[in-house]
Each structure stands twice: as structure tokens, then as C-alpha cells.
Amino acid sequence: MGVFTRPGVTIDLSVPFVGADGAAKPLRSFLTPGTPFILIPTFYHCPRLCGLTFAGLEEFVNGSALRLGSEYQIIAYSFNPEEQHGDSEERRARFESRLKVPYAAAGTVFLTGSKESIEALNSQLDFRVRMADKEFEHSSALFIFGPSGKLVRYFAGVEFPPERVDAALRSGRGL
């Protein structure tokens, strides 16, 4: 399990995912035009690692010099095809309740998807997940993309230093 992707990869923004309204739409429809974004593969009801990933993400947002929603977006998607949009909205609300800085509502988008959509995006990211003993085995990472879907950088683990993530987001503005 792990992350094996390389900066410069461009993801297919036409892959459909399900947003807050329960409708499947192309990934690009959830993005704010011209804005870099953080993409996070996750499992909303993960009993271990994903909670630590979100705690690290909360620390990043609360310590960032950039404003969530106007200077960058966070797009999370579940790699568990059994999770539904209600699960994503519950997790989004919990995440937003822990933010200590102002943000625009469009800044956080939590998605679910079909097995095919999840596998397509995981494959493009080279983010590897597998089921073992009725639990997902996976790593933790956040991916920084320019507005066109070009990967700028990724951060593996559960700690995301604000100055380094901010720099990656700034460098992704024109991509």
C-alpha cells in the first residue's frame, strides 16, 4: 500500500462523483475555476488512519496563510464505494466544525463515488488500496493540484506543514 505517483500527472476531471445533492457529476463541476485544490483519498468511517489525516489537515488549514475557499479548495473523496453522500456530508460537517479560521463554503467538498470512478481516480493517482480481513489497507496522503488537474506535489503521511503546503498551492495557481 502506498502512494507511487509523480508530480506532473494530470487527472481526468470528467470522472463522475457524487456531491452533497446526491447527483453524480464530473469532478470538474465541484472545482472553483482557476483555483488550486487539495485532493484527499479517504474513508469517511475509517477507524484509524483517516482520522489522523483529517486532524493533520485541520492543523494545516488553521495554520495556513492562504484562505480556504478563495485561494484553494479541499476535495475529499471516499475510496469505499459503499459510503453514500450522507456519509460525506456528515464527515464534512465534522471537519468544518474544527476549523478555527474563516472559510468560504465552496472551500470544502466531500464526495462519494461508484467503484469504477474510485478505481479510475485511485489508478491515476497511483494511490493503492486493498481490502484485507474486511478492512481497507491504505496509506495517507494529500495531493496538490493546479486548476487544470495537473499534480504539483503530494504529501504522504498525516502531518502537512502549512508553509510547505502553502508553497505548493501557490505554485499550482497557473497549472
What's the pLDDT tens digit per position in 11-68?
Answer: 999 999 999 889 999 999 999 999 999 999 988 877 676 677 888 999 999 999 999 9
What's the pLDDT tens digit per position in 126-164?
Answer: 877 665 666 655 567 899 999 999 999 999 888 899 999
Domain 2-171 has CATH 3.40.30.10: yes
- Residues 77 and 21: their CA atoms lie apart, in Å, by 15
- Residues 120 and 54: their CA atoms lie apart, in Å, by 23
CB contact at 8 A, 47 and 30: no
Structural domain spans, the chain: 2-171
The grid coordinates listed for 69 are 475557499
- Residues 131 and 17: their CA atoms lie apart, in Å, by 21
Cβ atoms within 10 Å of 163's Cβ, excluding its own: 9
- Residues 127 and 168: their CA atoms lie apart, in Å, by 19
